[in-house]
Structure 1
Amino acid sequence: MRPEPNSPPTTSTAPSPETPLHDPRYPERSESRRIVLGLVTAVAVGLSLGATLRIPTLIGANDISRWCTIWALVEQGTYRINDCPWQSQTQDKIARENPDDPEKPDFYSSKPPLLPTLIAGIIAPFRAVAGVPLDAVIREQERTPRRDRPDEKPEPIKWQAHVYYFKPVLILLNIVPLWVVLILYARFLDRHAGPRDWPWMAALTASALAMPWFSFLTTLNNHTVGVMCVWVTVLALARLVEGDRKRVTFAVAGFFAAFAACNELPALSLTALALLITLGIEPGRTLRVFVPAALVPIAAFLLTQYLALGQFTPAYAEFGTSSYLYKDSYWQEPLEMDALDEPKPIYFFHLTLGHHGMIGLTPVFLFALIGWVRAWREAKVLRPLLAATLAATVVVVGYYTLKTNNYGGSTQGARWLFWLFPLWSICLPYGLMSGSDRRWLRRLFWLALVVSVMTVGYALRSPWSHPWAVDLLEHLDLYPLKR
């Protein structure tokens, strides 16, 4: 008797390394899924592209700190940012003694230098060909005085050259990878979302448009780079635990697991967990392929760190020392979120459920939590990844609860935790499967999706600002901040 199209196969054989993975229980991608993938991808890419082109390129202390390093490398061939015209606009810098003038210290960005160095390498050839400095003013246009203020002379509009150098970098760094990971995630959903369309389409939509890191695609930062690297790592590991044994898959998992840690230092926990998973799959290929691929970004990170500061430890390790507490430093008397010192139970609540919470701002995350339980029970092949997801979440949330007190400063969500979301997205389709037969569950998801997308929409104008929940509480005088 021929088996039914959607029935499990009668025999199970491990695929060869060259055999493409396909679960015979489920049909090939339907036309409706192809249409939804195209629509969701177009909306996500188009929205992020439009917002990136619209908002200012130099938008906050965090991204300006990195742009200063890029300017210094391209224009002066040094990591010292003293002469950068935007240096005064960022407090994310450290001071080093200037032997020529002890009264005027040398400033360096406090951000890891690997990413700015790579970007400087991209920009430098175009700067050389164009011959236009990054900080040049291409055109200055006078403003017409306002009718109600005829005696006030407004500042002229300055058309800056850096926009033409920096905007393409943001597109290449943030938006192109977004398109790639959505395509890869759709392939994962083909294998794990089941034969019904609801969990496939809902998981794709939520992962593309409802995650808090989406608003950071418009600005230069390490978090979106870390998120994209974790996405690629997780999807490569999923292929490996499902039976893929290709060298390129081991290499991709190793390189991006390490590069994720180079951009999000806490993601080093994922790098270690990925190493354990691949060792359990095939130790020989892990040592011959995964490890060498992982050493490439790690070596680059250490090299650029030494070239920039003459040390291998990140500048973050010096927080609270004289490197940060120089004369007129912002950190001598921090404001707003940076001035908070809440009891740890309250801080933990807001970091998870409250005004900066993974669940509070992104309630679709609840379906990922439910999905973890169901996936552990039904998708045994994914158990190594599920265990890694839980372990990384507990370790990182616990670490930031104990070691920090400001939620990442003036930022839309707990940005240190953004890289965990791709890990939980592998659980999301399992948490949505029951919605195929339960209307109330679908309605609950739509409500959670509205709130999650609203969080993203509220943040698009400036990711370096407070989430809507903080603004609401402060306007109601329930959560006063030091100004």
Structure 2
Amino acid sequence: MTDANRQLRLAIYVLLIAVSVGTIIGRIGQMSANHGKHPFMSANDRSRWATIRSLVDYGTFAIDDVIADRRWDSIDKVYHEGADGKRHYYSSKPPLMAVMLAGEYWVIKHGLGLSLGSYPFYVGRIMLVITNVGLLLVMFASLVSMVERYGKSDWGRIFIITSAAFGTFLTTFAITLNNHLVSAAATMVAIDFGLRIWIDGRRESWLFFGAGLASAFAAANDLPALSLLGLLGLALLLKAPMKTLVFGVPGALIVAAASFGTTYWAHGSWKPPYAHRSDGPAIAQLDANVAGEAASELNEAKVPAVVRETFAAQGINLSETPELQVREAGDRWVLDDAIVDRRWALQKVGDVIEIRTWDSWYDYADTYWRDGVKKGVDLGEPSRLVYAFNMLVGNYGVFSLTPIWILAVVGGVMLLRSDDRQWRDVTIMIGTLTIVCVLFYIFRPLKDRNYGGVCSGFRWLFWLIPLWLVMLRPAADWCAERRWARWLAALLLLISAVSAAYPALNPWVHPWIYRYQEYLGWI
């Protein structure tokens, strides 16, 4: 009877996953974003596609040639000096994912003769099916393995798989190129391997290597997942020090080398683009005896002779017509020389004026990210209390949009109160990761409190979804024994599925709760 039940469960899993995947493939086939010109739905995914196309079609990370067609342009870009000494536009997204997908595009272009420039719909759809559906299948396979190992009831196991197939935003975002699905898939594999070691007591070397590789890959694609790498790594180090050091650490180092290596390859810097938001080092200064007179001319948008002489002493001969911008009169100026193709900041510090190299990559002529240009949610939420409310139970709320996670909280409490110390440890780790991640975003500066921009859910927490699915198990098994609880769980899943399905053809829209508040005039 047990074997028969298991075979029936597996058949149901296959059916649920097939329906979910089939629906996703159908939605990918219906894409007609960007006024029907390209199957790319937002600035976020266009930025990634631009890099993929530029790498294969033009042999460079610079996306100037691609975004010359404005339909390919994106606000998610930076502007800085490249290896050729000239300034170029680059995607602001970490390049590791783009490099990997460029290999996929290269095979499609040379194998099928289809290019993103000429056949964006065909190539885009082919790559989304291969990449995103492939990631989902990996996730589902790991989740099925976990529910079969640790689930106590047929109903509970099927409920968890149904939740994963229809009740989370991971399937919503499977029709667009994004890093969150990549990170979530890696997180699912990492926790699967970690539980095999921690709960099941297994010690195969490949499990440690895989856990290190997967958790590092999650972090490389979604920076807050660095906390998973740290906590899971510490747990495995305590459980099996030698195995973790000999096999787990090398797995993580491979990803770290790939991540930092592609960043340096793309930008000539070990730091990712988002870390370049301030001035570079000072290369010269105007002493106090000339700074005052120079400041007066700079305030009139003129380049003083003493400034030209100071640059010349550094081997930099400014052209006759550099552009001078007064950012803060008497305090800060920006010098941009289109002929020399470089930019500098002039900053008053005490009685002197420092000339600094330019390292603010998001600050360029047509940038969207400058104060006074940004709009809507990108302005940031002034109140941290309101931000926390909306993140958790408001218009972008984790629990209001997808209330199945209420059951994950219940499941976590049940595990904490159980006699199983190993599962208590796992629950503490997942709870800690969730709380740390939530607090991280609540206490971000104003400009970063923007709910992840225009999107259908609080996407910065999506990488945690596999961990929350693990926490569903005890609550689902408890509900399986009570009819009223099963109906309640089904209702929570229905609401979650509706939220996930609302943006079926474009996840880069506001959630339905936000839209309804707009309709009521509250926003």
Q: What is the TM-score when the length of structure 1 is the normalising length?
A: 0.84
Contact 1:44 1:208 in 2 (8 A): yes
Report what 1:63 is aligned to: 45
Show CA shifts across 1:66-102 (max 9, x none).
0100111001111000110456531000111589998
Whether 1:205 aligns to 2:187 is no
110, 114, 123: which is aligned to 2:105?
123
Q: Distance in 1 between matches of 2:442 and 2:401?
A: 17
Q: Distance in 2 between matches of 1:365 and 1:398?
A: 18
Q: How far did residue 27 of structure 1 move?
A: 6.8
Q: Distance in 2 between matches of 1:418 and 1:230?
A: 10
Please provide the CA RMSD for this pair: 2.1
1:132–1:419 CA distance, 2 compared to 1 (3 A): closer
Q: How far did residue 37 of structure 1 move?
A: 0.7
Q: How far did residue 31 of structure 1 move?
A: 3.5
Q: Distance in 1 between matches of 2:484 and 2:277?
A: 49
| SS of the residue 1:277 aligns to | helix
Show CA shifts across 1:309-340 (max 9, x none).
11111112235874213112222311221123
Q: Distance in 1 between matches of 2:115 and 2:506?
A: 27
Contact 1:61 1:92 in 2 (8 A): yes
Whether 1:95 aligns to 2:99 is no
Q: How far did residue 133 of structure 1 move?
A: 3.8
Report what 1:174 is aligned to: 132
326, 333, 347: which is aligned to 2:364?
326
- Listed as ranges, the gaps of 5+ residues in structure 1 are 6-25, 137-160
Q: How far did residue 252 of structure 1 move?
A: 1.1
1:238–1:90 CA distance, 2 compared to 1 (3 A): same
| SS of the residue 1:330 aligns to | coil
Report what 1:397 is aligned to: 438
Identity %: 34
Show CA shifts across 1:153-207 (max 9, x none).
xxxxxxxx1233232221222112212321221221122221x322111111112
Q: How does 1:362-381 map to 2 (within 5 A)?
A: 362-378=402-418, 379-381=420-422
Q: Which runs of 4+ in 1 moved over 6 A?
A: 98-102
Whichever residue aligns with residue 467 of structure 1, its letter is P
13, 24, 27: which is aligned to 1:51?
27
Report what 1:9 is aligned to: none
Report what 1:342 is aligned to: 382
Q: Distance in 1 between matches of 2:194 and 2:81?
A: 46
Q: Distance in 2 between matches of 1:100 and 1:302?
A: 21
Whether 1:227 aligns to 2:184 is yes
121, 146, 160: which is aligned to 1:188?
146
Show CA shifts across 1:244-297 (max 9, x none).
111111111111100000100110000011111111121111111111011111
Q: Distance in 2 between matches of 1:436 and 1:474?
A: 39
1:374–1:359 CA distance, 2 compared to 1 (3 A): same
| SS of the residue 1:331 aligns to | coil
Show CA shifts across 1:427-459 (max 9, x none).
101112221232221221121111100011112
**Larger gyration radius, structure 1 or structure 2:** 2
Report what 1:443 is aligned to: 487
Report what 1:269 is aligned to: 227
Contact 2:135 2:181 in 1 (8 A): no
More strand by share: 2
Q: Distance in 2 between matches of 1:99 and 1:291?
A: 32
- Listed as ranges, the gaps of 5+ residues in structure 2 are 33-38, 279-358
229, 239, 259: which is aligned to 2:217?
259
Q: Kindly tell me the number of residue pairs found equivalent between the two proteins.
A: 428
Q: How far did residue 132 of structure 1 move?
A: 4.8
Whether 1:386 aligns to 2:436 is no
Contact 2:108 2:114 in 1 (8 A): no
After the TM superposition, which of the residue ranges 369-378 and 209-218 deviates more from structure 2? 369-378
Report what 1:145 is aligned to: none
Show CA shifts across 1:354-373 (max 9, x none).
11111111100000000011
Report what 2:92 is aligned to: 110
| SS of the residue 1:325 aligns to | coil
After the TM superposition, which of the residue ranges 176-185 and 227-236 deviates more from structure 2? 176-185
Whichever residue aligns with residue 522 of structure 2, its letter is L
Contact 1:238 1:382 in 2 (8 A): no
Whether 1:316 aligns to 2:292 is no
Contact 2:138 2:185 in 1 (8 A): no
